[in-house]
Structure 1
Amino acid sequence: MMRPLLHGDVSSAARVLLGVPPAERDLLCRRMITEAEIADRHVAATGRLHPDFGNGSLMSAARRRALADEPGFDDPHYCSCFELVLRHLIRFHVSRTRS
């Protein structure tokens, strides 16, 4: 399922993506979303944090990695990363509603 998404979740994931080469961002974004989902299921089943992925939030999955300093939305690279996260989250939620 994954915990409710907030601005900080998207921002944290985008900051992680900003620190990796563009060719690696797509896969890494999907990986963080998957980790958040795995952690959320673990928390729901056990009542405890997932030992590797945290509390089931995208922020928790992202913050296991190095985060770039948060730039403003005048930074086109950051905007591109932020947009990538949003696109993947839309796909994730659309695929869940079709299941």
Structure 2
Amino acid sequence: MRPVLHGDASSAARVLLNAAPADRERLCNRMINKAELADIYVGHTGRLHPLFGNGSLMTVARTRPLANEPSFDDFQYCQCFEMVLRCLVQFRVTRMRS
């Protein structure tokens, strides 16, 4: 996956905000895995992945409906943003073990 910037995490959190709370973690991990697959594809072919784009989390997230971006005063948004960061950390830890 390409380096993750604030906009990547924000876009993913906005997708999660539109999802049912019970589905959010699974959806978050799915978006991260798709970004990783796209980045690998781009590395091998030099071309964008036909479904998942350039390997950035933002590109994957923006294939789904995004909620309007609230401020961090919004508790649900904070939970979604935190989930994205937690899933990213877990993804990195798992990759380091492999």
Q: Which bracket does the TM-score occupy, shorter chain normalised? A: over 0.9
Quote the RMSD (CA, aligned, Å). 0.5
| Cross-structure match for 2:26 | 27
TM-score using structure 2 length: 0.98
SS in 2 for 1:74: coil
Unpaired runs of at least 5, structure 1: none
Instruction: List structure 1 segments (4+ residues) > 3 angstroms apart after TM superposition.
Output: none
- Identity among equivalent positions (%) equals 66
Instruction: Note the alpha carbon deviations across 1:2-57, whole angstroms, 9 max, x for none.
Output: 10010000000000000011011011001000100000000000111000000000
- Where does the alignment leave 5 or more consecutive residues of structure 2 unmatched? none
How far is the alpha carbon of 1:95 from its aligned partner? 0.8
Verify: 1:76 aligned to 2:75, yes or no. yes
Paired amino acid for 1:72: S
Distance, in Å, in 2 between the alignment partners of 1:66 and 1:21 is 13
Partner of 1:49: 48
The Cα offsets for residues 60-99 of structure 1, whole Å up to 9 and x where unpaired, read as 1100000000000000000000000000000000111111
Aligned residues: 98
Amino acid at match of 1:88: C
In structure 2, distance between residues paired with 1:49 and 1:23? 31
